[in-house]
Structure 1
């Protein structure tokens, strides 16, 4: 979910519907491309160009069947909204190859202060092949210009110019990520921060930096869902450590950072939704260190997203129930 400059709320539904809520009613935005609806795949995230008032651009992430092979994979597209319809749709990025697997599509958006668009794509359930291979999509966080072109200072652009390195995915910004479903830009530092699902245990929060390897699946604080292990190490040279991890897993989804003095002692804290335990978790921060955990809203349902609205207040999207605003008493 995201907001237009006039205050209207845009939100997606997995089945392939995009809506605009104007404060009174929800209006469906037509022209959404066909989605690959399988497992966790469908219509995923939506974001608005920082200069929307000038160009009318919005961006969507969704699973699609485009390209070769059976199944689908995560796709990033740009369009303009005219008369409650998407027009001039352009595909900016399509992860390949397609897969029939139904898990780990990602996908979240955020913008940096220079106007680059970041998006996440999960490992698509192929942990031993995708995340550590920069010649392959999936298990990565990507960075592109607003028109889909690749920034010259992306970490693998120069390396990819070599004779022996043709084929490196130059949109990659970080790799070794499992399935990031929460990503935001810190309102004070400007750093890109993301969280990702671990397996059984080992959900992580990471500060995302250019060219860094976040370790999945070589290092992890989690184990297989069956209870067996897939790695014996939690750290390795050349691989980043999370600033925080959850054991047991909470299945994090949605991520926001409070930047509103009206919330008083909450200001600067991280907000993370839990799909598994169905609550909104607040992490009290001291710099990059978590010093306290607190449930802000408990037993509310599977929390899919959390955002700070243009009014500075907290909004949460709960699966099958709706979107709610949270005010501090």
Structure 2
């Protein structure tokens, strides 16, 4: 059953009435173990990944139908590692295929992995690993793990630099610190930017990334939008171009956690500068492009979860893709670390919170 959170009907003050519509926040589900991602099934059910390695099935009103689908591969869950994103096949109603990213291996040797499987009532069948980051790395940080489809039905998987391997983000001989583009079976698209080059992995679509945990494709403007974590500051929003170098760790506006400068350069020749940068860090998490009708004043804006700020940032990109404006923070009254943001089938905004007792919220207009 839907329940409203007491006191969370927010009415904009008069000075903001033109930019912030009133909304109310409903609790859909509770007691989720570090939920990471959400996908909507055509029949109204929802899939929720939980970082410890569970793929939960919820009814449209938030009741648990399956605590965890069986058939998942073994997931390495420690620190930031675990089960990450889940997306449906572009032809889901015909093939029932689900794609999901996760950490595999052990603390001594682990990878970001990608697999697909056929959704059954209480299980995933015919699960196949279709991609694995090379080489293996140690420890449990910076896996990336977000997924999105492009219009040609190729799949984007975002990755991270493994925290201690940041210099490798400039090395095309491995996948570390890159974004990869794959066909549905995990093979390499013929038009990937580094296909045919002996000095690069052909799966790589862009590189020079630190830890990309948000990606969305803007169909109207035909652009791929990401954000990534900086260290102490230097969180970025980027437009991704095939073959481009996004600078990490040669260029960044952030400092190391010791306070030391990582590089003297905020910009560097041959690298792409971010459209927007946050210093101090907001710790960006999920991202969604608002295209619904319930909140017309958010139309075309991107909504970005902020773990540190415990809110969602609303950001507007210019039509030419050269500028981005951080307009406002939303849902801060929840006091929750927002892990994922999704737009529901009717234009609602869904939020997942990063907690051992995580919650799923649904945001709708207050009237």
Provide TM-score, normalisation by structure 1. Answer: 0.94
Post-superposition shift, 1:234?
Answer: 1.0
Match of 1:73 among 99, 111, 120: 111
Taking the TM superposition and a 5 Å limit, the aligned residue runs for 1:21-170 are: 21-24=58-61, 25-26=63-64, 27=66, 28-65=68-105, 70-160=108-198, 165=199, 168-170=200-202
What secondary structure, in the 3-state scheme, does the structure 1 residue paired with 2:114 have? strand
Post-superposition shift, 1:292?
Answer: 4.2
What secondary structure, in the 3-state scheme, does the structure 2 residue paired with 1:159 have? coil
State the structure with bigger RCO (CA 8 A, min sep 6), 1 or 2. Answer: 2
Structure 1 window deviating more from structure 2 (149-158 vs 129-138): it is: 129-138
What secondary structure, in the 3-state scheme, does the structure 2 residue paired with 1:54 have? helix
Residues 1:174 and 2:206 are matched in the alignment: yes
Residues 1:199 and 2:238 are matched in the alignment: no
Check whether the contact 2:306–2:313 (CA below 8 A) recurs between aligned residues: yes
Residues 1:302 and 2:337 are matched in the alignment: yes
Aligned residues: 321
* Runs (5+) with no aligned partner, structure 1: none
Match of 2:269 among 210, 214, 237: 237
Check whether the contact 2:101–2:114 (CA below 8 A) recurs between aligned residues: yes
Structure 1 distance, partners of 2:48, 2:222, is 25
* Runs (5+) with no aligned partner, structure 2: 1-37
Post-superposition shift, 1:197?
Answer: 0.1
What is the RMSD of the two structures over their aligned residues, measured on CA atoms? 1.5
Structure 2 distance, partners of 1:277, 1:211, is 32
Q: For residues 243-266 of structure 1, give each alpha carbon's deviation from its aligned partner in whole angstroms, at most 9, with x where no partner exists.
A: 111011100000011112331221
Provide TM-score, normalisation by structure 2. Answer: 0.84
Structure 1 window deviating more from structure 2 (69-78 vs 213-222): it is: 69-78
Which position in structure 1 is the counterpart of 2:9?
Answer: none
Post-superposition shift, 1:82?
Answer: 1.7
Post-superposition shift, 1:23?
Answer: 2.0
Q: For residues 97-144 of structure 1, give each alpha carbon's deviation from its aligned partner in whole angstroms, at most 9, with x where no partner exists.
A: 222211101110000111010011100113443200010121011100
Structure 1 distance, partners of 2:43, 2:60, is 11
What secondary structure, in the 3-state scheme, does the structure 1 residue paired with 2:295 have? helix
Structure 1 window deviating more from structure 2 (19-28 vs 7-16): it is: 19-28
